[in-house]
A = this chain, B = another copy of it.
Amino acid sequence: MNRIFFTPGPSELYFTVPDHLRSALKENIGSISHRSSAFQKIYKNCIEELEKLLNIPSDFEILFASSATEIWERSLQNLVSEKADFFVNGSFSEKFYHTGEALLKHTTRHDAENYTWNNKFSKIDYATEFIAIAANETSIGMCTGMNEISTIKKAHPDKVLAIDVVSAIPYYEIDFAHCDMAYFSVQKGFGLPAGLGVWILKKSLIEVAAKKGLEDHISPHRRLSEMHKMAVKNQTTETPNVMAIYLLGKVCEDMNRRGIDQIRIETNYKAAVLNQAIEQSSLLDFLIQEERYRSKTTIVAACKGIEAQSIIDHLKNFGMIIGSGYGNNKNKHIRIANFPAHSKESIEQLADELLNYRK
């Protein structure tokens, strides 16, 4: 039986990935040198297609790392001398906070309560250099809109505002006028195999580590200045995941051809279908009560009088693989990815089966 992965990442591969992998083998992408002009062309294509898809302005640069987890570490190493603030509303934003605790002298966490932010954004103190917030907290499917994020930036224009768009993108529209960096990994909304992190940041930040005297103590391959020096040559500091950069460029090409507006319209439609099923189901409830905080790309429902595993197992019989709750909520929530790789038809079938299911 064919299986479709609605897990919130790794997830279903974008439908063109198998063809691109075949082309990659024909074109020896696994063998070419990362210092060759063939690689530089692949790199450049990936950057240009990403810029187009996400509407990234020219004062931002795109860099590659191995994962979003690595970008947590690298951004703090390169951009913060002493203090950062973290908005925590789930397991992933909390992990970023723990990375801060390890690397920095001072950290403050601001916890969401009952899946809403309620005045939390005003409590950032003067000494803070860096503010972290998850646009989409994958563990609970809570989305914080760019309008809310931009209020933080407007109140603190001198601080680096970093947003985690891991499972939100490319649907989520980043307003680059109101953030300084955004990052994601490719195994979520881009429908690619895991193994690449993408770091989009304001070019003016590239010299921060050097200016703050941080650079000397960062491994040379992850100093922003060194990464930038190679990036302008369409190269990376180390041998990167060449295949992933190739595939990301190709999938962005495909998505650009389809059109980001179309992708957003379809995502909204599919989210509505899933949300309607949750509303109608006697076994499910919205985890997040305030509608504006409900993610459209990672739909999370709380189970009522039933274990999540039972719903997961039922759907598995139809070849539909959905995610369990995260961490301690493993058996209490279900999580369903709504990424560009998920067709309208597959989401409709999933919604039907959710509703068909009785205890």
Contacts and interface: CB of A to CB of B under 8 A. Distances in A.
Contact of A220 (B9, B102, B321): B102
Interface in A1-18: 3, 5, 7, 9-13, 17-18
B18 A31 contact: no
Interface stretch (A199-207, A235-243, A256-264): A235-243
A21 B185 CA distance: 21
Contact of A99 (B32, B69, B187, B220): B220
Interface size class of A (residues with CB under 8 A): 35 or more
Interface stretch (A121-129, A169-177, A211-219, A301-309): A211-219
A163 interface: no
Interface string A25-49: 1001111111000000000000000
Q: How many copies does the complex hold?
A: 2
Contacts of A244: 195, 241
Nearest to A8: B33
Contacts of A99: 219-221
Contacts of A34: 10, 194
B70 A238 contact: yes
A120 to B, nearest CB: 24
Contact of A69 (B3, B17, B70, B221): B221
A103 interface: yes
A98 B242 contact: no
A331 to B, nearest CB: 14
Contact of A242 (B21, B33, B194): B194
A243 B99 CA distance: 26
Nearest to A323: B33
A88 interface: no
A192 interface: yes
A196 B240 CA distance: 9
Nearest to A247: B30
Given A5-B31, A31-B5, A98-B220, A194 B13 contact: no
A72 interface: yes
A54 to B, nearest CB: 21
A279 interface: no
Nearest to A192: B30
A348 interface: no
A220 B99 CA distance: 6
B30 A3 contact: no
A69 B195 contact: no
A67 interface: yes
Given A103-B219, A193-B29, A69 B238 contact: yes
A195 B31 contact: no
A50 B196 CA distance: 24
B29 A5 contact: no
A289 interface: no
A276 interface: no
A346 interface: no
Given A3-B28, A28-B5, A10 B239 contact: yes
Given A72-B219, A219-B72, A10 B32 contact: yes
A148 interface: no
A25 B30 contact: no
A33 B337 CA distance: 13
Given A66-B195, A102-B219, 9 more contacts: A10-B33, A13-B25, A21-B21, A33-B323, A67-B239, A69-B221, A70-B238, A98-B220, A194-B239
